[in-house]
Amino acid sequence: MKHTKGEQFAGVTVALVTPFRNGDLDLAALKQLVEWHIEQGTDCLSPVGTTGESPTLDHEEHERVIAAVVEQARGRIKIVPGTGSNSTREAIRLTRFAQRAGANGALMVGPYYNKPTQEGYYRHFAAVAEACDLPIVLYNIPGRTASNIVPETIARLAEIPSIVAIKEATGSLDQASHIASLCDLTILSGDDSLTLPLMSVGGRGVVSVVGNLIPRDLKALVASYDAGNTEEALRWHRKLFPLCRDMLSVATNPIPLKTAMKLLGRGNGELRLPMCCLDSAGEARIAQTLRAYGLMA
């Protein structure tokens, strides 16, 4: 297997939910989730990302979640919090905080809403890399940011030593293949359902939503492929696919995921506006998906 930068982030990273109780952070529940993932053998946790409802956390809450997760982990699992922003100054501030807190890296989404040019993307990430001494995992998700970081720009960024990996969430195997042909970043799937297809063109794992539910199964898929057992990896892919699909298609992430966790007794399902709970039909569909997978009786 070709050597790539950022191999320490290969495997299964779980995009961790942020538990709430009565509108406030539930740090006790958050710490329980960290312990559960350590027991499950999850490779890495990424709090305060999209799945962690970071857009609705204020700056103090964002930092409290990072600090709580790193403190609870105590070096037993890698922690790569989301520290991206559409403000370069804010991204630098958050990344510096993650570094001081003891995180292993930073997951940095492309600036959203203001839609920078490709040169603007390059200068944004380069400025954060220059200001902070922490490995950076780029995060390209045009469906959320409204703009794509093209492979040529990603290859330019790959020349910066501290930019080591990318969470590739364009849904395009062509784009992932293009990135792999241009640079040696570790490529991680940003879509659970595309983990195996992306690994087939050079990916090394996933930053996962459904890993909040079944991290061991995702690890089995990744390990099977890495070991050359493609038939076993394909079996896992086919088993996982309906669960991966429904966690993202029934409603916006993390609404279905928090619903699933509530149904499995692993959270209260509380979201923060503008995210809101599923109606009874949506919840019934999630329950049906969980039963079909074997997670509920």
What does DSSP say about strands 20-21 and 44-46: parallel, antiparallel, or unpaired?
Answer: unpaired
CB 73 within 8 A of CB 247: no
Ramachandran sector of residue 11 (left: φ over 0; alpha: ψ -120 to 50; beta: rest): left
Given the residues 167, 225, 258, 293, select the one marked as catalytic.
167
DSSP letter for each residue of 187-232: EEESSGGGHHHHHHTT--EEEESGGGT-HHHHHHHHHHHHTT-HHH
- 113 given a catalytic annotation: no
Q: How far is CA 159 from the centre of its chain?
A: 23
Please confirm, yes or no, whether 293 is among the known catalytic residues.
no
Per the residue annotation, which of 122, 139, 225, 293 is the catalytic one? 139
Are 82 and 107 contacting, i.e. CB atoms less than 8 angstroms apart? yes
Helix or strand holding residue 44 (H, E): strand 44-46
Which residues does the annotation mark as catalytic? Answer: 139, 167
